[in-house]
Structure 1
Amino acid sequence: MLSNSSLALPLEKGGKAAEHYVGRFAPSPTGPLHFGSLITAVASYCDARAHQGQWVVRIEDTDIPRIFPGSEEHILRCIDAFQFEPDTEIIFQKDRLEIYEQVIAHLHAQGLVYACQCTRKMLGSNHIYQGTCRNLGLPLQDQAIRIKVDAQNICFTDRLQGTHYSNLQQDLGDFVLKRRDGIINYQLAVVVDDYLQGMTHVVRGADLLDNTERQIWLGQVLGYPRLEYMHLPLAMNDQGQKLSKQNMAQALDLSQAAPLLQQALQALHQPAVDLDTPRIMLQQAIAQWDIQHIPHGTALPQIYQ
């Protein structure tokens, strides 16, 4: 097994000890927020508050070329319109690239990452990386950076989806932390920031479920505490596709914040709340919050536009 070596980065302001619930909403600004995004925001907020915990917002924008113009501002307007109340200052990952580079340098010094010159054309259709560059000792500059994985099973029990496990070496192979074009991969940034912000619980969409074993592995290698996960079923359009920016999901109409909030709670099968200001509705939803009512599986049984 690869040796674990903790990177002693300090928790940031607002980070709490592990016994205190800290959750987050972490959208990517590749387009305006849609109804599926709202479901995630509502669930993460209510779950944190129902546990008397903290809720923070993080904008996951390391993939700078894919940032959709105006989408970061739209996210901030949504937080205000739905009257969510983050407990810490909202952070933007594109402002934290030096931190991620520090982590890569630490992992490289421990012999846990390596440069990879393989292109998509070279890899072909095989999604399991065969370790072609693992022992070549290539310089890190202008190459993708991969982390080494072991042949051990990574197991976790999701609060909604049950037990999942993966043998990363057999199922995936060494995975990328930094792309050849210099873009920091989602897997690295999310693990580092969850640790630095003192995160204890992750509530997010089921489309990210298959990332979890990779993130657990990376956190384990870095010596970070393991998190609790809850992956929500996804809202679907009338073609049976998940609501997403790629599928042209409709942007949230902020003038309809209260009825949209009511619909999001209905989608999560939570007890009804009275139509009021979003703040009052959220208070009622938190008092009634029960994840046992949330549908299991990876898709919601009803269709939402």
Structure 2
Amino acid sequence: MRTRFAPSPTGPLHLGHAFSALTAFDMAQESGGTFLLRIEDIDLSRSRPEWEAAIFDDLSWLGLDWPRPVMRQSERLGVYRAALDRLGAMGLTYACTCTRRDIAEAASAPQEGVATGPDGPIYPGTCKTAGRDAAGAAIRLHMDRAVARTGPIRFHDTGRDIEIGADRLVQEVGDIVLARRDMGTSYHLSVVLDDAAQDITDVVRGRDLQDATAIHVLLQRLMGISSPVYHHHRLIRDAQGKRLAKRNDARALRTYREAGARPADIRAMVGLTRGA
């Protein structure tokens, strides 16, 4: 078993991050496997070296260890570009110059209604046949052509065998972004390629990413990559029931550490008793 924790260095780790990292680490340890750390820093405008250093420090304090050096997405832009070129050569991508406002206005047109998917409003296909200049454009997946190649998507998720039909992918996911104009890639593309490069056998992550799994398996099928087993765990929420985010500084690990908490206390707070 090979698991991973893949945070973005854009803010402090909080209790939700601790729960996910500890869960992945414990699974690997209990099976005699390997736990890996990956730094997802494709958002260069928000990523900071001080937050990356804090990630290393917090995880080490929790008692986690991992092989060095770690993988950083910012060092793999050429890999992502090559994958985009490959998908493009297969006729599965197109350039999109629409802004978020363009998409929101098209999606809310009376004759269309508003449908949302894992990436928000489902793209209405404005640029699919418009032949617009690709300069400064995002790159989208042509979902109709993609599912014509793959057919239904099947994968194992949190103890269940899942099948999602081609029609659902077209209607409920749509033409997702594979490369944002300011990044050269996207979460969906990079996470699939990075998990494959690290030979990840079991992906452990929160239920907030569960709907994205079909996208990732689809991309794996298109690029001939084996799918890992997926485990989507419960989310750690605040007193109002909201999922924790990096803006929740009150739940940041550094806040608890400064107040005298021990790693065993963090485990207890998130409902994990191993090592307490």
Q: Provide the TM-score with structure 2 as the length reference.
A: 0.82
Structure 2: 5+ residue runs without aligned partners? 108-113, 115-120
Contact 1:100–1:184 under 8 Å retained in 2: yes
The letter of the residue matching 2:157 is D
Contact 1:59–1:93 under 8 Å retained in 2: yes
| Equivalence for 1:72 | 52
Alignment of 1:166-185 (within 5 A): 167-185=168-186
CA RMSD of aligned residues (A): 2.4
| Equivalence for 2:39 | 59
| Equivalence for 1:144 | 138
| Equivalence for 1:117 | 97
SS of the residue 2:65 aligns to:
coil
Contact 2:93–2:142 under 8 Å retained in 1: yes
Alignment of 1:93-242 (within 5 A): 93-124=73-104, 125=107, 126=114, 127-150=121-144, 152-159=151-158, 163=162, 165=164, 167-242=168-243
Matched residues in 1 for 2:233 and 2:9: separation? Answer: 20
**Displacement of 1:205 after TM fit?**
1.2
The percent of aligned pairs where both chains have the same amino acid is: 36
SS of the residue 2:143 aligns to:
coil
The letter of the residue matching 2:178 is L
The letter of the residue matching 1:132 is T
**Displacement of 1:272 after TM fit?**
5.5
Question: C-alpha offsets along residues 73-130 of structure 1, whole Å, 9 cap, x if unaligned?
Answer: 1001123222312134212111211111111111112211111122212211442223
The more displaced of 163-172 and 27-36 is 163-172
The more displaced of 220-229 and 160-169 is 160-169
| Equivalence for 2:262 | 259
| Equivalence for 1:46 | 26
Name the count of aligned residue pairs: 253
Structure 1: 5+ residue runs without aligned partners? 1-20, 275-305
Question: C-alpha offsets along residues 238-287 of structure 1, whole Å, 9 cap, x if unaligned?
Answer: 1211111134453213467973444425634x55644xxxxxxxxxxxxx
**Displacement of 1:49 after TM fit?**
1.5
Matched residues in 2 for 1:160 and 1:36: separation? Answer: 22
SS of the residue 1:24 aligns to:
strand
SS of the residue 2:253 aligns to:
coil
SS of the residue 1:177 aligns to:
strand
Contact 2:12–2:54 under 8 Å retained in 1: yes
* Bigger helix share: 2
Contact 1:57–1:91 under 8 Å retained in 2: yes
Contact 1:63–1:184 under 8 Å retained in 2: no
Residue 34, structure 1, aligned to residue 14, structure 2: yes
Matched residues in 2 for 1:256 and 1:158: separation? Answer: 38
Matched residues in 2 for 1:237 and 1:41: separation? Answer: 18
SS of the residue 2:262 aligns to:
helix
SS of the residue 1:146 aligns to:
strand
Matched residues in 2 for 1:249 and 1:97: separation? Answer: 35
Matched residues in 2 for 1:257 and 1:94: separation? Answer: 35
The more displaced of 83-92 and 35-44 is 83-92
Matched residues in 1 for 2:189 and 2:3: separation? Answer: 18
The letter of the residue matching 1:25 is F
The letter of the residue matching 1:131 is G
Matched residues in 2 for 1:94 and 1:169: separation? Answer: 31
SS of the residue 2:236 aligns to:
strand
SS of the residue 1:65 aligns to:
coil
Question: C-alpha offsets along residues 130-175 of structure 1, whole Å, 9 cap, x if unaligned?
Answer: 3222234445431010112245543433226774747221102110
Q: Of residues 20, 25, 28 in structure 1, which corresponds to 2:5?
A: 25
Matched residues in 2 for 1:121 and 1:146: separation? Answer: 17
The more displaced of 55-64 and 156-165 is 156-165
Q: Provide the TM-score with structure 1 as the length reference.
A: 0.75
| Equivalence for 1:12 | none
SS of the residue 2:182 aligns to:
coil
Contact 2:15–2:266 under 8 Å retained in 1: no
